[in-house]
Structure 1
């Protein structure tokens, strides 16, 4: 049965007092606190709240007559402990491990504290009856997340422990009925467009390789330690400074000059294409920006998304790639 916001606030206060100060708050003292903060008018109201907590939320509330105070018979109990599904818990652990790897232990620690608070409050918050809202006021885009995201914590552990990984891999462009088993020395992970990739050293080819997690099958951590040549480590560390997206580029870093219509120029200034972006000119007729990138397939696909609002000025090789790509598109109509 849904509860009101005011009842939720009282329940939260009662739970906090009993859990933090067991056997220290008498009925009268707890009533006075609830009256002061939430305006309850009688002891019977407090008694009803406590009875409701016992019956509806299985709160093991007891009263110590000798010490004249409420306490939980189960010290680990928290009224608002989460009613999470295994998927919910996996998602929270995933977030914590990713934060540990990407933002450092201090940020992950803050998340752990926040998650503890969430674990203590989410189930009753889900029951709270929102008062006064008659329509939805926030809309967010539903994202289609890349598959095998549960591999991310495993891969983070592999990198941190310097362990090799083993998996089968199915390519989009040449699917195999029985993908071969691969071994990789993982170096880092990268998230692009809600999909995850692992970049590592392939001992068979002697080069760095990139694999999408959504195409990996049967990922396993091996006991074998990684042996990555220093030159490969340096190359991978610098790889994404001048790459858009995830696909490798066989060419050098070049000066890419793009001309946008004034309207789309404002969009690109507000949300730059890449960290190397510079505005060369911004007039009533066009906005010209410069990037320093190694052209690749991901960049070409992104530039095409601007349609008639973009003209590639430099380099000549990228201009030609755009022409050929657009011509191939038109040939299909």
Structure 2
């Protein structure tokens, strides 16, 4: 009997868990939680362990699916895995039921793309809709010769999103084992009150209140090595924190304390101005054209690392007018870069 649309979606989620190198050998409960979170969020329990057991059996044996997935339980690791290296049901050609499930999920999401809660995913939903429009059968043969979509790598650390989201919603503090990016990488442990998960440039970040330091800190999820949730404790979110407005004046993931945003202004070449017109840097961006044809771009943003990085990348196309602090940092960094590129003669 053909599987229903939700079962087909669960198979894809289970496959993703079984092929996740960051968290191998998932248990039935971990598979259940992954499906629950992906399909229903954390609102109650809609999927049972028996459903997962049936899914695993179907993926192994159901002829209509055609997966015949080599799934086995590993007694030493106490979890499930594929016995064939590199196996994934994604490598198997989609059948009609798979295509119907994808169309069903896509059409359901697109109906709600204008709602505020879905607006942050509008670009992703648009890409899915565009793919279905150019290739209703999702057949890559021929299509990729004429239309190529940008592909993004799997975000390392995404396996932590489930337990982190649970702790955020339930207001449970966590103990975080974290590996810093330093010359000599070392693991450190932090006790945090988790507030927010944010994606930036295909990486996930956790924002949490550090009671010891008395301020919010940011951690890259790809550097998290372990999470322990304290279900016996509850915390209250700091009154000054507003998730909706926290990044209002930030370009990127960095927010510098509780400081106020600064006025940033630079002259830019006409070609760069056209790009900034079609894709603004920030919602505060304004552009003025003077009588001599020069374009001045103005922003009201925090002086963040990401802003400095962007300005340096386009240094040959712009002249920074203000603020002076960023201009000095920009000049110092570019001079250091120039020194590094000098090659001594023979």
1:199 partner SS: strand
1:103-114 matches, within 5 Å, as: none
TM-score (norm 1): 0.61
Look up the match of 2:148: 139
Look up the match of 1:28: none
Q: Does 1:213 align with 2:221?
A: yes
The number of residues matched between the two structures is: 242
CA contact (8 A) 2:175 2:229 kept: yes
CA contact (8 A) 1:147 1:195 kept: yes
**Whole-angstrom CA distance in 1 between matches of 2:176 and 2:312:** 34
Unpaired stretches in structure 1, ≥5 consecutive residues:
1-58, 60-75, 106-117
Moved more, 188-197 or 215-224: 215-224
Look up the match of 1:169: 178
Look up the match of 2:319: 311
CA contact (8 A) 2:263 2:323 kept: yes
Structure 1 residues 183 and 130, CA, compared in 2 at 3 Å: closer, same or farther? closer
**Whole-angstrom CA distance in 1 between matches of 2:319 and 2:39:** 39
**Whole-angstrom CA distance in 2 between matches of 1:85 and 1:215:** 23
1:218 partner SS: strand
**Whole-angstrom CA distance in 1 between matches of 2:248 and 2:141:** 49
Q: Deviations over 1:217-246 (max 9, x none)?
A: 112322143424634425x65431111111
CA contact (8 A) 2:14 2:35 kept: no
**Whole-angstrom CA distance in 2 between matches of 1:194 and 1:239:** 20
Structure 1 residues 225 and 95, CA, compared in 2 at 3 Å: closer, same or farther? same
2:216 partner SS: strand
CA-atom RMSD in angstroms: 3.8
**Whole-angstrom CA distance in 2 between matches of 1:132 and 1:119:** 15
CA contact (8 A) 1:188 1:198 kept: yes
Q: Deviations over 1:246-302 (max 9, x none)?
A: 123255311001221111101011111011111133777432111111101111112
Structure 1 residues 318 and 86, CA, compared in 2 at 3 Å: closer, same or farther? same
2:283 corresponds, among 271, 275, 278, to: 275
Look up the match of 1:156: 165
1:324 partner SS: helix
Structure 1 residues 273 and 97, CA, compared in 2 at 3 Å: closer, same or farther? farther
**Whole-angstrom CA distance in 2 between matches of 1:195 and 1:310:** 28
Q: Does 1:240 align with 2:270?
A: no
1:180 corresponds, among 174, 181, 188, to: 188
Q: Deviations over 1:149-190 (max 9, x none)?
A: 12122222111111112221111135444x122211011111
1:196 corresponds, among 191, 204, 213, to: 204
Structure 1 residues 284 and 167, CA, compared in 2 at 3 Å: closer, same or farther? same
**Whole-angstrom CA distance in 1 between matches of 2:290 and 2:224:** 45
**Whole-angstrom CA distance in 2 between matches of 1:211 and 1:131:** 37
CA contact (8 A) 2:171 2:234 kept: yes
Moved more, 212-221 or 273-282: 273-282
Unpaired stretches in structure 2, ≥5 consecutive residues:
21-30, 44-93, 103-136, 342-346
2:146 partner SS: coil
Moved more, 131-140 or 145-154: 131-140
1:291 partner SS: strand
**Whole-angstrom CA distance in 2 between matches of 1:286 and 1:100:** 52
